[in-house]
Amino acid sequence: MLTEVHVPDDLSEALRLVAGGARVLGGGTSLMPRLNDHASTPTELVSLRRVGLAGVRVDGSAVRIGATTTLAELEHDDRVAFLSPVVRSIASVPVRNLATVGGNLFAEQPYGDLTVALVALDARASVLDAAGRREEPVAALAGQHHGLVTELVLEVPAPSTFRYLKATRRRYNSASIVTVAAVVEQTDGVVSAARVALGGVGRQVVRATLVEAALLGQPLDEATVASAAQAGLGQLDPSDDAYASAWYRARVFPVHLRRALLGR
Amino acid sequence: MTVKIVNLKLNGVDKAFMARPETTLLLGLREQLGMMGAKRGCAQGACGSCTVLLDGSPVVSCLVPAVTVDGSTVGTVEGLSDGQVLSDVQQAFLDGFATQCGFCTPGMIMSAEALLERNPDPTTEEVQEAISGNVCRCTGYEPIITAILDAAARRRGTTAATTPETDEGPPPTTAYESSEGMRADV
């Protein structure tokens, strides 16, 4: 039974409450449905709404996104326009006005598409706990529930290197069947660097290292992407859910990898 | 358990209510303040029937713990009409038969109001995206999309808005009476 919802207005108080066992509440779009269903039973919540972590700072190519920045704020920020299609693929307007960037890191698959993009973009999270502040790759945060993520740090990708495609059951407001996010750099006609992250195909966001290895040194064409997809299948562990079967997700993956990387 | 007082500027009027930790903004509006416009549908943020404007932006109020929004501005469907004169969106829904059972209508209308505030001349696709968080099981959506485009045209002055006609007697003199008349409690 919920006994208290704390709404501290400074970060140190929030940190103290978290250390004492209170569950962090960002926008509430993941946690509140479970509370409303009585399917989750934290007794104390600490809302980060007033701790002053919202906002996007851009300095050259360096981007710092405050953890409580809403998805809607990110969607409408022209300085990070490359993230707008990612955000618009998530849920719906009245949910994006609540959901936070930090909260998306802890959304369970097949949700959490922004995190898929952040892993591909090699974003790092600034985490605060009793031991102090540390920076961790977003990919390493999965499943962690200690400390407070205060900020995401990333670089604006070079022009036309960032790809994102989410296969869904309908155009808007659908969880992922397969989400592909990638940063692919090419030099002299071949792939010189690749980071590929996948959503919808595992219990966590999948960093598709086998796909990346198969792309490196090859021209970015249909044959390369088809063999990279075959290589990547071994890293998938998709689930059956109301949106798609595991079988379907595995079948869709090579097609959507091609569409994401080649645009066709 | 701590019960806290939550202050809101609700449809332009200062309001306060007592909230327990598990009281959502939706329940505060409905059960404490008697504002029955926003509906409790799924309580999962999936159906949009509880959509209200929180500090100007549409949110699913079923997912908002009330104590976290103390001091905020909230807009609900009850605040849209000016006496007996409906807002452009309300009138366009009425004229276009964009409601059937009416359960989704307050949420649809608040999503539409927020869209037109940000984008006075939306495309059909932009309307579809704006209401993608609002589920309607009656209309098939087409009359709703048409009504929102119609409301946008009315607001831009492309088409004159019509006012409802009353059959007899003078119009009610207070906003309270007319909002009672327009309200569909469920």
CB atoms B59 and A33 under 8 Å: no
Q: Which of B26, B47, B57, B125 to mutate to test the interface with A (most CBs of A within 10 A)?
A: B57
ipTM value, please give it. Answer: 0.94
Q: What is the mean predicted confidence (pLDDT) over B122-128?
A: 98
Predicted pLDDT of residue B35: 97
Q: Give CATH for domain A162-262.
A: 3.30.390.50
Task: Give the model confidence (pLDDT) of A213-254 as tens digits.
Answer: 999 999 999 999 999 999 999 999 999 999 999 999 999 999
Instruction: Reduce the DSSP state of residue A223 to 3 states and report it.
Output: helix
Domain boundaries, chain A: 4-47, 56-155, 162-262
Compute the distance between CA of residue A238 and CA of residue A177 in angstroms, rounded to an integer: 9
Residue spans in chain B of domains classed CATH 3.10.20.30? 4-77
CA gyration radius, chain A? 19
- What are the phi and psi torsion angles at B141 (to 5°)? 75, -30
Predicted pLDDT of residue B66: 98
Q: Which residues of A touch B62 (CB under 8 A)?
A: 32, 36
Q: What is the mean predicted confidence (pLDDT) over B58-62?
A: 98
CB atoms B132 and A36 under 8 Å: no
Predicted pLDDT of residue A2: 86
Q: Which CATH number fits domain B88-156: 3.40.50.720, 1.10.287.620, 3.90.79.10, 1.10.150.120?
A: 1.10.150.120
Task: Confirm if A92 and A23 have CB atoms less than 8 A apart.
Answer: no
The bridge status of strand A4-6 relative to strand A44-47 is parallel
| Minimum Cα–Cα distance from B40: chain A residue | A36
Band of the pLDDT at B159, cuts 50, 70, 90? low
Task: Give the list of residues 6+ apart from residue A215 with CB closer than 8 angstroms, or none.
Answer: A184, A191, A194, A196, A224, A225, A228, A261
Q: Which residues of B touch A95 (CB under 8 A)?
A: 45, 60, 63, 133
What mean pLDDT, rounded, does chain B reach? 89
Does the pLDDT of residue B180 top 90, yes or no?
Answer: no
- Nearest Cα residue to A36 out of B150, B52, B46: B46
Least confident of A127-131, A222-226, B59-63, B137-141: A127-131
3-state secondary structure chain B: CCCEEEEEEECCEEEEEEECCCCEHHHHHHHHCCCCCCCCCCCCCCCCCCEEEECCEEEEHHHCEHHHHCCEEEECHHHCCECCECCHHHHHHHHCCCCCCCCCHHHHHHHHHHHHHHCCCCCHHHHHHHCCCCCCCCCCCHHHHHHHHHHHHHHHCCCCCCCCCCCCCCCCCCHHHHHHHHCCCC
> Look-up: residue for tokens 């007082």?
B5
Q: Which residues of B touch A35 (CB under 8 A)?
A: 22
Q: Where are the beta strands (DSSP E) in A44-189?
A: 44-47, 56-59, 62-66, 124-129, 132-137, 148-155, 162-167, 178-187
Task: Give the model confidence (pLDDT) of A84-100 as tens digits.
Answer: 999 999 999 999 999 99
Query: What b/e string do you get for B140-159 counting C-beta neighbours within 10 Å, with b at 16 or more?
Result: ebebbbbbbbbbbbbbeeee
Task: Give the model confidence (pLDDT) of A97-130 as tens digits.
Answer: 999 999 999 999 999 999 999 999 999 999 998 8
Residue spans in chain B of domains classed CATH 1.10.150.120? 88-156
CATH topology of domain A56-155: 3.30.465
| Minimum Cα–Cα distance from A48: chain B residue | B68
Q: Which two tokens stand for residue B15?
A: 């309001």
Q: What is the mean predicted confidence (pLDDT) over A191-203?
A: 97
CATH architecture of B4-77: Roll (3.10)
CATH topology of domain A4-47: 3.30.43
Band of the pLDDT at B170, cuts 50, 70, 90? very low
Compute the distance between CA of residue A158 and CA of residue A137 in angstroms, rounded to an integer: 20
